[in-house]
Each structure stands twice: as structure tokens, then as C-alpha cells.
Amino acid sequence: MKSRVLAALIGAFLVPTAYAGLLPVSRTVDAQTVVYLTQIITPDTMDMSAKRFFALVESEAPEINIIIDSPGGVNYIMWAVIKGIDTYKNNGGVVNCYITNLAASAAAEIFLGCTNRYATKNAKFMIHDPAVHVVFARITAEIAKQLYEGLSEEKAKIRNRNYEILGLDNKSAIDLLMDEEKVVSAEEFNEAMKAEVITVLDSLVIQ
């Protein structure tokens, strides 16, 4: 009886202590289940990553681990990746995502859609509205209007998705982060969301 009570007391102490960050949190990942997203997201750079992802899906791997270190990239590629992740999750798969340095812009949106989200210490995170970079000096009023309308729709789509994932209670905090394009640590993001959205790791081992 005494031993059970002692075990319960130890458990009651250790569990919240671990969540408070006083105990090391580590993850070991099977290299055979890893997909790397570690460049600017473009059709060319995502080619090998996409092939790797869908090869794991076809092999019926129970989980896929995505390693992220990217400043973002092209939105339509981002949506294609998100669709692939959502489909895999809806069929019972688990997608673990890890920020090892930076997940910003499109990379951050991919990260938010994962089943489980992790970040190594000192990793950074940034969400913002989509942008169009015009590389030529003169555009017609009609093209400018189309760009503006398309951008407004994309902005609403991304914001609404973030509200859905992170909760409408966090709408003000989400809007502030996106408006300011503020680069934050995982701990700062969790604090803003008032929840452990991202688990901070002391170590990540891929073997």
C-alpha cells in the first residue's frame, strides 16, 4: 500500500515537472521515415521531398517525420503539401514535424498542419500573410486588381485555417503575429497561444 502511494506521489510530481521543462525532452526518429524540407519551397526543390513523401505513403508507413528548416516559398506548392499531409492523416497516418532552425511563411503553414509539432531549442517560427513580388515595373490596372483580389482571398484562406487549427480564442494573438511578421521561438509562440502547440525538444536524434 505504501509503495503504491509513494509511486502515485512521485508520478504526480514528475508529470507536471516534465511539462514545466525541468526534465529533458528528446525524440529519436527512424531515418527511414524522414522527409526533409530544408530549402526554399519551389517546384524544383520540393521534387525529391514530394517523391519521398508519397513513397512513404504508398509503403503504408504508420508515421512520417518531416524535418523543416525553410524560410518558406511558393504558396501553391505549400497547398499541395498540406493536401498530401491532410489526406495521409485522414487515412489514419501520423505526421510528426520538427523545426530544427526555422519554419517561416509557407513552411510554417505546413508545420501547423502536422499531427504532432516539435522544435529544437533556439528554433524560430513565423507566420504572415501571403505576398506577391512584382518583378517588372509596369503592370496594367486590370492585372493589379486581379493580383489584389487573389491576394485577399489567399490571405483570408490562410488566416481562417490558422484560426481553425489554433482556435478562435487565439484570433487576436494570431492576427498580431501575422500582421507584425514577428519571428518567435517555440516557447514564445506557445505563450501567445496559451497552450503547448509546439513541444520543445532538448535533443532530436535521427538514426
Q: What is the pTM of this model?
A: 0.82
Task: Judge whether 33 and 65 are in contact, CB under 8 Å.
Answer: yes
Q: What is the C-alpha to C-alpha distance for residues 125 and 94, in angstroms, rounded to an integer? A: 22
* Full pLDDT tens readout for the chain, 207 residues: 444 433 333 333 344 444 445 567 999 999 999 999 999 999 988 888 989 999 998 898 999 999 999 999 999 899 999 999 999 999 999 999 999 999 999 999 999 999 999 999 999 999 999 875 444 445 566 655 555 565 788 999 999 999 999 999 999 999 999 999 999 999 999 999 999 999 999 999 999
What is the CA 14 to chain-centroid distance, rounded? 28
CA distances from 37 to 9, 50, 78, 125, 178 (A): 43, 9, 11, 15, 22
The number of residues in the chain equals 207
Cell numbers at residue 74, please?
Answer: 511558393
Do 96 and 65 touch, CB atoms closer than 8 A?
Answer: yes
CA distance 5 to 151: 60
